[in-house]
Amino acid sequence: MLGTLAKWLRLFGFDTFYANNEMKDGELLQIAKKENRILVTRDKELIFRGRKQSLQVIKISSTDLDVQLKHVLHDVPIDEEAVLSRCSLCNTILEEIKKNEVKNRVPEKIYENNDIFWFCPKCDKIYWMGSHYDKITAKINEIKR
C-alpha cells in the first residue's frame, strides 16, 4: 500500500521493512513488536490493533508522497549519516565497491564518468552519483526543510 513511501524512507536511511501482500496483519504486528519497529500504515484496522498492542503507529492519511514523508519525519528524526546508505529495493546497507569491479556491470558511459560506486551485497544492485542522485538529494533536502 505504501511501497513508494517505503522506498523513500530507505533513501532517507531508515531501516524499512515493507510487508508483502501475502503477509497477514497478525504476522506484521508480531514483527513490529519483536523488532521494535514503528508501524506506518493507512490501514485503519491495523492502526487500531497496533495501538492496542502499544506499538508506535504513524497513521498516513494522504496519498501525496511529500506529505507522507513530512508526516513520518515529523515523528522520527533523520540520521544525516544514514541518508542514502541503504538499498532502495531490499533495505540492505550499501557497501563501497572499487571502480574496476563494476567495469562490465554498469553502462560504459557511467563507468567513464564516475569514480565512486556502491553495491548491495544482497540484491547486487550497483549505485553511483549520477543525475538520479542529484534529483534524490534535491528531494531529500526539500523535504527536510
The arithmetic mean of pLDDT across residues 19-31, rounded, is: 93
C-alpha to C-alpha distance for 111 and 4, rounded to whole angstroms:
28
- Name the segment(s) of the chain with CATH classification 3.40.50: 1-79
For 43-99, write each residue's pLDDT tens digit.
Answer: 999 999 999 999 999 999 999 999 999 999 999 999 999 999 999 999 999 999 999
CATH fold of 1-79 reads Rossmann fold (3.40.50)
How is domain 84-145 classified at the architecture level of CATH?
Single Sheet (2.20)
Give the three cell numbers for residue 134: 542529484
The arithmetic mean of pLDDT across residues 26-50, rounded, is: 96
- Supply the pLDDT for residue 1: 78
Contact of 45 with 52, CB cutoff 8 Å: no
Tell me if residue 70 falls in helix, strand or coil: helix
C-alpha to C-alpha distance for 118 and 24, rounded to whole angstroms:
34
For 103-120, write each residue's pLDDT tens digit.
Answer: 999 999 999 999 999 999
